Structure 1
Amino acid sequence: MKPAREMFELHPLEIIYLTALIGGTSFPGLEIDLKDESGRNIRSLMDTQMRSLEVKGYLEVDFVGLAKVNEVLHRGIAIASSCKSYFCQLMHTNQLTCKVFYFVQDEVWFELEYQPESNTYKLQEIYALHELMYQVIERIPLVWELSDKDKLQKAINKEVDLETWVGKSLQAGAFITSLAEIQCITEEAQVIRELNLMIHEDQMWLLRGVEEDASQTTQSLSTVVNELCNWLQEV
Structure 2
Amino acid sequence: MEPARESFELQALEIIYLAALTGESGFPGLAVDLEAETESRQRALMNAQMRTLEAKGYLEIDFMGLAKVNEVLHECIAAGANSASYLCQVVQNGDKPSRIYYFHQGNTRFQLEYLPETNTYIMQELYAQHEMMFQVIERIPLLQSLEGEGDSEQDLFEEPDLERWAEEILHAGASLYALAEIRCIGKEAQVIRELNLVIHKNLMWVLKREPEEEITRDRVTLSTAIEELCLWLQAV
Identical pairs, percent: 54
Query: Distance in 2 between the 1:164 and 1:187 partners?
Result: 33
> Please, what TM-score do these two structures have when normalized by structure 1?
0.92
Residue 62 (1) aligns with residue 62 (2): yes
Does residue 229 of the first structure (1) align with residue 230 of the second (2)?
yes
Partner of 1:212: 215
Paired position in structure 2 for 1:25: 25
Residues 115 and 60 from structure 1, CA distance in 2 versus in 1: closer, same or farther, beyond 3 angstroms?
same
TM-score by length of 2: 0.92
Whole-angstrom distance in 2 between the partners of 1:74 and 1:130: 23
The alpha-carbon distance between structure 1 residues 149 and 100, as it changes in their structure 2 partners (threshold 3 A), is: farther
Contact 2:12 2:120 in 1 (8 A): yes
- CA deviation digits over 1:11-66, x for unaligned, max 9? 00000100001212220111111111111111111111001000100000111211
Whether 2:164 is the aligned partner of 1:183: answer no
Partner of residue 168, structure 1: 168
SS in 2 for 1:4: coil
Question: For the residues of structure 2 that align with 1:13 and 1:145, how far apart are their CA atoms?
Answer: 43
SS at structure 2 position matched to 1:189: strand
Distance 1:213 1:24 in 2: 38
Distance, in Å, in 2 between the alignment partners of 1:18 and 1:152 is: 50
CA 1:17–1:66 in structure 2 vs 1: closer, same or farther (change >3 Å)?
A: same
The 1:47–1:34 alpha-carbon spacing in structure 2 relative to 1, beyond 3 Å, is: same
Task: Letter of the 1:212 partner, please give it.
Answer: I
The 1:51/1:145 distance shift into structure 2, 3 A limit, reads farther
AA at the equivalent of 1:88: C
Compare the two structures and name the one with the higher strand fraction.
2
Q: Is the 8 A contact 2:196 2:207 kept in 1?
A: yes
Distance change (3 Å), C-alpha of 1:63 and 1:193: same
Deviations 1:147-194 (A, max 9, x none): x9557534223x341121111111111011111100002332111111
AA paired with 2:114?
A: Y
For 2:98, the equivalent position in structure 1 comes to 98
Matches within 5 A, 1:79-98: 79-98=79-98
Q: Distance in 2 between matches of 1:169 and 1:98?
A: 19
Asked if 1:125 corresponds to 2:125, the answer is yes
Q: Is the 8 A contact 2:91 2:99 kept in 1?
A: yes
Farther off after superposition, 89-98 or 79-88: 89-98
Q: Distance in 2 between matches of 1:135 and 1:152?
A: 33
The range that moved more, 180-189 or 205-214, is 205-214
Give the conservation status (yes or no) of the 8 Å contact 2:96–2:116: no
Uncovered stretches (5+) of structure 1, i.e. residues with no partner: none
Given that 2:141 and 2:177 are in contact with CA atoms closer than 8 Å, whether structure 1 keeps it comes out as no
203-212 or 19-28, which moves further after superposition?
Answer: 203-212
Unaligned runs of 5+ in 2: none
